[in-house]
């Protein structure tokens, strides 16, 4: 994260307020902040309790910890209006920004159309 792009109070005030507003869940897939689990074959996140975490480690299932992110809908990091901000997990955030990132690369000449 390029901290110069964000408001000075981003980490202390804005981000925590958005996470709280969205009940510490991804607005798209509803996965919970700081939950531990794995993605199954259908790419659905399976949250694990302590028993499942112990079992998963015994059978070598790689567990991940979800850390939610706050996304600027208009891609303007200076627009911190709460209507412009949404809580997303990393997977949903990436899928949301992917079309814009592809377009940016095309404009810079990194990706050429076929």
pLDDT digits (tens, 9 = 90+) for 5-35: 788 999 999 999 999 999 999 999 999 999 9
Domain boundaries, the chain: 34-67
- Phi, psi (rounded to 5 degrees) for 83: -70, -20
pTM for the full predicted model = 0.78
Distance between CA atoms of 26 and 94, rounded to whole angstroms?
13
The residue that leads in pLDDT, 57 or 107, is: 57
Residue 2 has pLDDT above 70, yes or no: no
User: End-to-end alpha-carbon separation of the chain, Å?
Assistant: 32
The pLDDT, as a whole number, for residue 56 is 86
Within 1-89, residue ranges assigned H as helices are 15-21, 50-58
């Amino acid at each position: 994260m390029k901290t110069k792009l964000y408001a000075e109070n981003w980490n202390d005030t804005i981000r925590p307020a958005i996470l709280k507003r969205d009940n510490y869940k991804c607005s798209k897939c509803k996965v919970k902040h700081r939950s531990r689990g794995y993605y199954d074959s259908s790419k659905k996140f399976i949250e694990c309790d302590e028993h499942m975490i112990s079992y998963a480690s015994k059978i070598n299932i790689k567990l991940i910890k979800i850390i939610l992110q706050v996304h600027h809908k208009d891609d303007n990091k200076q627009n911190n209006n709460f209507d412009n901000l949404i809580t997303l997990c990393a997977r949903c955030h990436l899928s949301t920004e992917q079309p814009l990132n592809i377009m940016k690369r095309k404009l810079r000449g990194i990706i050429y159309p076929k």
